[in-house]
Amino acid sequence: MSTILLADNQPIIRAALRALVTRAGHVVAGEADNGQDALAQCRELRPDVVILELAIPRLGGLDVLRRLRSAMADVRLLVFSAQESEVYAGRSLQAGADAFVSKAESPAELEKALTAVLHGRSYFPRVATHLAKPAGAEQDARAELERLSGRELTVLEMLGRGLTNKEISEQLSLSYKTVSTYKMRLHQKLNVSSDFQLLEVARSLGASETAPLVTVDPELAGEMELLRAVLDASPNPMFVRDLGGRLLLCNRPFLIRAGVSLEEALGTRFEDAQWLSPTMRQRAAARHHEALLRQEPMTQEVVLETTDDVPKAYYAWCIPHRATDGRLIGMVGGMFSLAERDEQLAQMRSEQYEAHYRNHLKTRLLAKVGGELRDRLMSLRGHLAAVSQGLGPVGPKNELAALWEGVESMLASLRQVEELLDLEHHAAERVSEAHDLGQLTADIVRPLHAALESAGRHLDMGPGLLSLKKVWIDAGHYRQLLEALVQGASVNPNVGEVRLHLSNWRHLKGLLRLRLEISPWNHLTGSVESDEPMLWARARVQRMALIFHGEVLQLEDDRGEGLLRLELDLPLVV
C-alpha cells in the first residue's frame, strides 16, 4: 500500500482519481488544486507518488515537476494531463517526471502507469522518446515548440488559456516585466509579430485547451490585437462579436461575470449565454440584431443576479466596429456596474424619508399647538357670551364687544393657519416611518387573528414572519391592506382557515421586494348583493396596491383554491 498525492484543479477529476487509487489498494495522502499547495503538501506529507496535471494554476505543472525532482529525489512523479502528448510528454520527461498519461486514454492506462512507477519503472508514450516524427509542416511546428524552454512553454500555455500578463505573473510568482520578457522571446522564437498570432500558434500547436476562434472578417482579424489590448486594459467586462453575434474576444472580467471559461465562451451567441435569464437572452439578442440592422450603438440598463443572490444593475453598451472603408465588420461592447449609483440613490431615498418624517413631526406639533389655542379661544368666547348676557345697555358692554371682535379675529386667523396646514399636509395624508416589518405585521394581525378565532376560524401566518426586514412604510396604509386581505379571504362562512403568508428578498440596492399571498381568495359569484363584502375588500386591496405601486395576481394554491398574490417594493432602512 502506497501513499499518493493528487494535484489537479478540477474537483471531479480528483474525485475520479481518488476512487481509482483507493480501488487499487492505495491511500490518498492529500489533494491540491494549485502548484504551490502541491509543493507544500509534498514537503509535509512525503507521499510515495504524485499524480499531477500540467495545466494547474500557480506555478504551472512543469515548474512543479522541476522543483519536486530537485527537492525530493525519491518521490515518483506521474503526469496525468489533458495537454497534448506529442508536445508535453517529452517536456515532462526532461523536467523529471517518471510517467506521462494523457487524459484522453482509458483508465487502464493510468493504472498501468501507476503500477510501473511504484515498481521503479518509467511509463511514457513513444513520442516522448522521439521515436516517431511527424512530417512536413507539422514537424516544423513541433520543432518550434521544442526550441522553447519549460518556462516559455508554461507562459505560452497560460496565454492560450486567456490569462493576462498580470495574472501570469501572480500565478508564476514572477514580476510583470519578466513575463513581458518571456512573451518577447516567444515572439522571436515562434516568428510572430503580435499576441493574437501568438495565441493562434498556441492553439494550432496544442499548447492550449482553448477552442479555436471562429472565422472572422480579415480586416477585423487584423485589428484583433489592438482590440485585445483595449479589452485587457478595461476593469469592466468587455467583448467583441462578429456580424452573426458570435463572441470573438472577451476579457477576464467578462469571463468572471459570466462564470465560464474562455473555451466555453468563444463562438457563443447571446442566445447561448446561460448566465443570463431566458428573457434577458432573447432581449439582448433582439437588441443586438436591431443595432446591427440600424448600424448604430445600443445602450440599456439591465438587472442581473449575482453570486450573493442580490440583483445588481448594470449599464450595458455595444457600438459598431467598422473597417477603414466604413463597412460594418463587428460590434464591440461591455457593461459596468451601477452599484455605486444604486447605493447613492438608496442613501438619498432614506434621507428623503427621514426629512419627510421630521417635517411631518413639525407639522403635527404646529397643528397640536393650533388646536389647543383654538380650544382656549372658543372657551374664552363662550365665557364672554355668558358675561355679556347679564349686562344692561350701559357699563362695560363696549369693552366686551371689543374683546369679542378680537377673539373672532384670532379665530379667523387660526382658521387660515389650519387651511394652510391642510394644503401643505392634508389631514388624511399618512407618512412612511421606519418599522420592523415583522413586528409591525404581528401587531396588526393580532386583533384580526383574535376576531377570526372568536368566529371559529384559524389564521395561518406561515414561517416567513421572522425573516421580514426593517423598512420605510406607511403603517396606516399597511394596516388597511392587511385588513382588506383578511376580510376578502374570510368572506365565505364555510372557510375554516385563512392562510396569509409573507416573504421578502432584496431587490436592487436599497429596496426590499415584499410578497403577500392570501388564500382562499375566490372569484365573484355574479350576485352584486351577495358579493358586496368581497367587492369592498377587493376595492380596498386595489386601492392599497395603487398606493404602494404593487402588482396583484390571481393564482391557485397547492390545494386548488384561489390565491391572491401581491408584490410591492419598500425602501430598506439604511
Q: Has residue 535 got a pLDDT over 80? A: no
pLDDT tens column, 282-327: 888 888 888 887 888 888 877 776 655 566 778 888 998 887 777 7
Instruction: Please give the pLDDT value at position 528.
Output: 40
Strand order, beta sheet including 49-52: 27-32, 3-7, 49-52, 76-81, 99-102
Q: Has residue 75 got a pLDDT over 80? A: yes
Instruction: Please give the pLDDT value at position 161.
Output: 66
Instruction: Please give the pLDDT value at position 527.
Output: 42
Q: Residue 451 class from Cβ within 10 Å (0-12 exposed, 13-18 middle, 19+ buried)?
A: middle
Q: Give the distance, in angstroms, between the CA of residue 30 and the centroid of all CA atoms in the same chain.
A: 34
| C-alpha atoms less than 13 angstroms from C-alpha of 466 in its C-beta half-sphere | 1
Q: Has residue 58 got a pLDDT over 50? A: yes
Instruction: Please give the pLDDT value at position 3.
Output: 93
What is the three-class DSSP state of 304? strand
Q: Has residue 529 got a pLDDT over 50? A: no
Strand-pair partners of 81: 102
Which of 39-43, 359-363, 468-472, 512-516 is predicted least confidently?
A: 359-363
299/348 Cα distance (integer angstroms): 25
Residues 6 or more apart whose CB falls under 8 angstroms from that of 190 comprise 144, 148, 198, 201
Which of 84-93, 217-226, 492-501 is predicted least confidently?
A: 217-226
520/460 Cα distance (integer angstroms): 12
pLDDT tens column, 190-240: 766 666 667 666 665 544 443 334 445 555 566 666 777 788 888 889 999
313/302 Cα distance (integer angstroms): 6
Considering 14-23, 334-343, 533-542, the range whose residues carry the highest mean pLDDT is: 14-23
Strand order, beta sheet including 247-250: 247-250, 238-241, 328-337, 312-322, 298-304
Q: Has residue 115 got a pLDDT over 70? A: yes
Instruction: Please give the pLDDT value at position 154.
Output: 78
Which of 124-133, 141-150, 338-347 is predicted least confidently?
A: 124-133
| Topology classification of domain 433-571 | Heat Shock Protein 90 (3.30.565)
Which of 270-274, 301-305, 327-331, 517-521 is predicted least confidently?
A: 301-305
> What mean pLDDT is predicted for residues 339-362?
68
Amino acid sitting at position 273: A
Q: Residue 6 class from Cβ within 10 Å (0-12 exposed, 13-18 middle, 19+ buried)?
A: buried
Instruction: Please give the pLDDT value at position 203.
Output: 60
Q: Has residue 274 got a pLDDT over 50? A: yes
Q: Residue 219 class from Cβ within 10 Å (0-12 exposed, 13-18 middle, 19+ buried)?
A: middle
218/215 Cα distance (integer angstroms): 9
Q: Has residue 375 got a pLDDT over 90? A: no
Q: What is the mean pLDDT of the chain?
A: 78
Q: Has residue 63 got a pLDDT over 80? A: yes
Amino acid sitting at position 89: A
Q: Has residue 268 got a pLDDT over 60? A: yes
Q: Which residue has the higher pLDDT, 214 or 513?
A: 513
Residue 132 pLDDT level (bands cut at 50, 70, 90): very low
Instruction: Please give the pLDDT value at position 92.
Output: 84
Q: Has residue 51 got a pLDDT over 90? A: yes
Query: Which helix (H) or strand (E) is 559 found in, with range?
Result: none
Q: Which residue has the higher pLDDT, 481 or 141?
A: 481
Instruction: Please give the pLDDT value at position 403.
Output: 72
Residue 178 pLDDT level (bands cut at 50, 70, 90): confident
Q: Which residue has the higher pLDDT, 91 or 6?
A: 6
Is it true that 3-132 and 433-571 share their CATH fold? no
Q: Which residue has the higher pLDDT, 501 or 350?
A: 501
pLDDT tens column, 537-548: 787 788 788 888
Instruction: Please give the pLDDT value at position 506.
Output: 84
Read off the DSSP letter of residue 259.
T
Instruction: Please give the pLDDT value at position 208.
Output: 44
Percent of the chain with pLDDT over 70: 76
476/478 Cα distance (integer angstroms): 5
pLDDT tens column, 376-432: 778 777 777 776 666 555 556 666 677 777 777 777 666 656 655 554 454 445 678
Q: Which residue has the higher pLDDT, 341 or 332?
A: 332
| C-alpha atoms less than 13 angstroms from C-alpha of 569 in its C-beta half-sphere | 8
Instruction: Please give the pLDDT value at position 516.
Output: 92
pTM of structure: 0.35
CATH class given for the domain over 3-132 = alpha beta
Domain range list for the chain:
3-132, 342-424, 433-571
Read off the DSSP letter of residue 524.
P
Length of the chain: 574
The dihedral built from the CA positions of residue 522, 525, 530 and 536, taken in this order, carries a sign that is positive
Instruction: Please give the pLDDT value at position 29.
Output: 92
Q: Has residue 492 got a pLDDT over 90? A: no
Which of 78-82, 150-154, 358-362 is predicted least confidently?
A: 358-362
Q: Has residue 373 got a pLDDT over 90? A: no
C-alpha cell at 573: 432602512
Residues 6 or more apart whose CB falls under 8 angstroms from that of 358 comprise none
Of 241, 267, 240, which Cα lies nearest the Cα of 251?
A: 240
Percent of the chain with pLDDT over 90: 14
Report the relative pairing of strands 76-81 and 99-102 from DSSP bridges: parallel
- H-only helix segments in 205-251: 218-222, 224-233
Cell 430598506, located at residue: 572
Instruction: Please give the pLDDT value at position 4.
Output: 94
